[in-house]
């Protein structure tokens, strides 16, 4: 038997060292203190590899619509579809009413907090773009550090040119919407200023 450092033990398990550290804290894997370092028995690591990692399936369901008002039926439909296909315990349903291009969404911040504190093991969405318009790969890598996976109920089937065109159309739609919003705000300010001058 060999006592492995955290990085070596994590590498053998195919997980990030931060995930292994969290499992040790949560007492999901035995360890021994050697000085100020946790060490893991090579026997325990091999047993864990063979038997798989027995972790409860704790699901976080994330639903999002782009508008700040309305679209309640879309949020409800997304939640219902995710609930009916759930195979573990649904810990939380997080809702956002904001563009998928915004990084500072309150719901997404809650998702990140729950992923990092170990409250969930799976984040589920109906479509990948519900989580984010771009950068979902980065989110998946970040979640993997904490041992959390992302499951998409309806994965994209397009590739190559179709996917590029889809991304382009998403950008175009988003910027057109923002431009329209800016023009509307400018028009409201102009009308208010004109009304104030008349009064």
Verify that 24 and 10 share a domain, yes or no.
yes
User: How many domains would you assign to the chain?
Assistant: 3
Residues 73 and 94 in one domain: yes
pTM for the structure as a whole: 0.59
Give me the pLDDT at residue 52, please: 53
Q: Which residue has the tokens 């399936």?
A: 57
Q: What is the pLDDT of residue 157?
A: 67
* Widest distance between CA atoms in the chain: 88
Do 141 and 62 share a structural domain? yes
Same domain for 148 and 163, yes or no, is no
pLDDT number for residue 145: 77
Map 115-171 to HEC letters. HHCCCCCEEEECCHHHHCCCCHHHHHHHHHHCCCEEEECCCCCCCCHHHHHHHHHHH
| Residue 127 and residue 70 share a domain | yes
Please indicate, yes or no, whether residues 145 and 68 belong to a single structural domain of this protein. Answer: yes
Are 20 and 97 in a shared domain? no
Q: Report the DSSP beta bridge partners of residue 125.
A: 152
pLDDT of amino acid 108: 94
**Residue 60 has what pLDDT?**
95
Q: Are strands 149-152 and 122-125 parallel, antiparallel or unpaired?
A: parallel
Residues 112 and 167 in one domain: no
Burial of 145 (0-12, 13-18, 19+ CB in 10 A): middle
Q: Is 142 exposed, middle or buried (CB count within 10 Å of its CB: 0-12, 13-18, 19+)? A: middle
Q: CATH no. for residue 120?
A: 3.40.50.1390
Instruction: Give the domain range for residue 190.
Output: 158-199
- For residue 110, the model assigns a pLDDT of 95
Domain co-membership, 142 together with 185: no
**108 shares its domain with 124:** yes
Q: Do residues 26 and 80 both lie within one domain?
A: no
- 79 three-state secondary structure: helix
Digitized pLDDT (tens) for each residue of the chain, 199 residues in all: 788 999 999 888 888 888 888 888 877 788 888 888 999 888 888 877 765 555 678 899 999 998 767 678 889 999 999 999 998 899 999 999 888 878 889 999 999 999 988 888 899 999 988 998 878 888 988 888 777 889 999 887 655 676 667 667 666 766 666 666 666 677 777 777 887 788 6
Residues 76 and 113 in one domain: yes
């Amino acid at each position: 038997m060999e006592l492995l450092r955290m990085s070596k033990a994590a590498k053998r398990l195919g997980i990030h060292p931060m995930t292994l550290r969290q499992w040790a804290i949560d007492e999901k894997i035995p360890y021994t203190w050697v000085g100020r370092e946790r060490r893991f028995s090579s026997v325990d690591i091999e047993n864990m590899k063979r038997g798989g990692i027995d972790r409860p399936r704790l699901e976080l369901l994330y639903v999002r619509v782009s508008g700040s008002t309305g679209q309640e039926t879309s949020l409800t439909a997304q939640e219902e579809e995710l609930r009916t296909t759930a195979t573990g315990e649904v810990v939380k349903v997080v809702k956002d009413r904001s563009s998928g291009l915004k990084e500072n969404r309150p719901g997404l911040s809650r998702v990140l907090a729950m992923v990092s504190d170990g409250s969930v093991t799976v984040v589920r969405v109906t479509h990948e773009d519900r989580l984010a318009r771009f950068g979902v790969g980065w989110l998946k890598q970040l979640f993997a550090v904490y041992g959390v996976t992302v499951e998409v109920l309806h994965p994209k089937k397009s590739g190559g040119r179709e996917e590029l065109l889809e991304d382009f159309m998403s950008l175009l739609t988003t910027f057109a919407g923002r431009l329209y919003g800016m023009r509307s705000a400018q028009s409201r300010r102009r009308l208010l200023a004109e009304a104030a001058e008349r009064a």
